Structure formats: C-alpha cells, structure tokens
Amino acid sequence: MNIALSAVIIFILLLPPIAFYFAFSSIGRFPKSGPKLGLFEGLMLSSIVAGLLHATVLFFIHDRISFDVLAVLLGGDLKTFGQVAPNETFKPLFESFIFYCAGLTVSSIILGFVCRLIVQHSGLHARSELLRLYNKWWYLFNGYKVDGFINSANPVEFDILFIDVLVNTNDGTMLYSGYLIDFVCSGEILERLYLSETIKRDFKKGEMNEKGNILVNVSGDPLEIDGDTMVVPFSTVINMNLHFITFSTNIDNVLQNTDISDETSKTVK
C-alpha cells in the first residue's frame, strides 16, 4: 500500500476549493487573516466543499471517468494496478486526470477573482464578516468605521486622515499628531504607522507650585518634528484619535482642537 501516492491524489482533488479561497480573500497588502481552524477542521471543510464540487462536475462527465483506476490510486494498492490499467491505457487516463484537475483548479481561481470583484464593487465586503476582504484596520483607516457609516457599503468621503497618537516613550507619555500616509499590518495586527507633518507634545505638562513639580491635565507645547516621515511602532501606542478631513473642511478648527500652533497651521495649509 502506497500511502504517499494516495496523499498526493487526495491533495490534488482538494486543491480547487483551496485555490478559490486564496483567489477570493488573500490578495493585496491588507487581506484579512485566515479562518482559525485546526488541521482536522480544515481538512473536513475542504473535503466537503471539494466533494460537492467534484460531484457537480462528474454529473456532466461521469461517462469519461474510470472510477476503478481512481479507486486503486486512492487506495494505494499498486499490486493490482497493472490488471486494472495496463500501460497502453494508463497514459490517456493520466492525461485526462491532469487536464481535469488543472482545468478545475484554474476555473476555481477565475471564479474566486470574479466573486471578489462582485463583492468588492457591491460593497458587500463591508457589511458581512463572512465576505470581508481586508483586515479591520484597513476598514478603519478608509472611513468605514465612522459615526453613521459602521457596516455601511460605502465609506465616509474624505481627502486626508489626521491622527493623534498617544505613545509611551522613555521620556514619558507623548502625543504625536500628523497625517497618515501609510500603515503596515501582519494579518489583523497593526505593526507601524507612517505620519507626515508630525507634531509632538507632552501628554501632561509639568508646572511648579509650592510643593514642587507636578503634572497637570494639560498637554505641553507643540513641537514640530524635523523630517518627512515619522514611523510610530504600534506596540507603543496607547490609543488613537482619527480626523477624516475633506478639502472643504476648515483645517484650522482641526488643528486648534489638537493644540497645534498658528505657524504649523500655515505650514499644513
């Protein structure tokens, strides 16, 4: 009994639904993480889907399948293989099997792309967790998680995203403010934020009184960070505040709410 041969044949037969899944949900920079299934659950689910798929296809081409040869290969019993499929008949049977599996796998990939386009353009990916295409940070930073737009097919309209980030540093808790230009994720985990026109200030300002230095619940003076891009590791972030800004929005109001100086406001505009 050849177990390795049986495993290869079974893997090939299970490949179409796996190819469909990756074509549908694992494209681009920010795909959602895969289902949290164990090996047994994944094999069972793939077997059920693959069984239904093959049964549907075989309903139309059943007269072209040599089930006796397939049963021998799946069982791994090569001792009786020469009796079931002599050499002169095995070649066309093997070619037909390869073309069948390759055609079904390619068709599954194409179908996965088509279904992805339909779900993407219809907005269903933002409404259903099952049909979600991107990780949750992508939906947050693209305006899908705003008041009145949660689970909406269309995001809020905006031109730039301004972020206040509260960060733990060696010098204490700092507040960084800037425009989000990019972010990096590993699955559903946010790793880094890239900000431009970044301003920093102490989260709580120290003041002198009769008892010495104390911290008051007022942020410190803003200080513009020299440079083009500020990289903030998300492991140091305590929380964030997002401002979705359109060009028609009065940016001065946003900057005043974040305690940015007038000189910086002119630079941003």
Same domain, 111 and 204: no
Query: Helices 39-61 and 87-122 sit at what angle, rounded to 10 degrees?
Result: 110
Q: Establish if 49 belongs to a structural domain.
A: yes
The residues, any chain, with a CB within 8 Å of residue 143's CB and separated by 6 or more, are: 149, 155, 156, 157, 158, 244
Same domain, 53 and 159: no
Give the predicted TM-score (pTM) of the model.
Answer: 0.72
pLDDT at 181: 94
Q: Establish if 103 belongs to a structural domain.
A: yes
Domain count, the chain: 2
Q: Establish if 131 belongs to a structural domain.
A: no
pLDDT at 264: 34
Final residue of a domain: which of 126, 151, 178? 126
pLDDT at 64: 62
Q: CA end-to-end span of the chain, whole Å? A: 75
pLDDT at 56: 84
Residue ranges in the chain modelled with pLDDT below 70: 1-5, 37-39, 62-90, 148-151, 203-221, 248-269
Quote the CA–CA distance of 144 and 54 in Å, as a whole number: 38
Quote the CA–CA distance of 145 and 242 in Å, as a whole number: 10
Same domain, 117 and 186: no
Same domain, 164 and 112: no
Same domain, 90 and 165: no
pLDDT at 26: 83
Give the CA angle between residues 82, 86, 89 to the nearest 5°: 145
Q: What is the pLDDT of residues 167-185, one digit of tens each?
A: 988 877 888 999 999 999 9
Quote the CA–CA distance of 109 and 19 in Å, as a whole number: 6
Cα torsion 233, 235, 239, 244: sign:
positive
Closest C-alpha to 164, from 190, 200, 189, 130:
200
Final residue of a domain: which of 126, 158, 175? 126
Quote the CA–CA distance of 221 and 199 in Å, as a whole number: 10
Domain residue limits at 83: 3-126
pLDDT at 78: 59
Same domain, 160 and 250: yes
Q: Establish if 205 belongs to a structural domain.
A: yes
Same domain, 208 and 163: yes
Cβ distance 50 to 16 under 8 Å? Answer: yes
Q: Give the tokens for residue 39.
A: 């090996």
Q: Establish if 91 belongs to a structural domain.
A: yes
